[in-house]
Amino acid sequence: MRVVSWNLAFRGLKAAKRQGCLLRKLAPDLMLLQEVNPGSSEILRAAAGADWMVRAIDLRAPEPDDSPVRRRGVAIVSAAVILTQVAD
């Protein structure tokens, strides 16, 4: 299994596409991303060829006084269904 962990450093749309293209070339089974920008994460996911993304920032409603820093988060991304087998 190939796993990539990457701090995206809160990049914008153009950088997200470039980062996603690099992730596609690396072809990881699982991507663990930090400082995910909610505005560009979907572009990164699509460019990476990933089928799904779970972002921690989606797990809570934004507060009225949230700064942009509070809207960054972590994400788990994959282009495949990850199956686990529990040993008896």
C-alpha 23/C-alpha 6 separation (Å) is 10
The average pLDDT across 74-86 equals: 73
pLDDT, residue 21, reads 96
List the beta strands (DSSP E) in the chain: 3-7, 30-36, 52-55, 73-78
pLDDT, residue 37, reads 83
Q: Tens digits of per-residue pLDDT, 34-78?
A: 988 888 889 999 999 999 999 887 777 777 776 665 667 889 999
Res. 9: pLDDT tops 70: yes
pLDDT, residue 6, reads 92
Res. 85: pLDDT tops 60: no
Residues whose CB falls within 8 Å of the CB of residue 4, separated by 6 or more in sequence, listed in order: 23, 26, 28, 30, 31, 32
Residue 20 near residue 41 (C-beta atoms within 8 A):
no
At 30, list the tokens.
Answer: 């699982």
The average pLDDT across 75-83 equals: 79
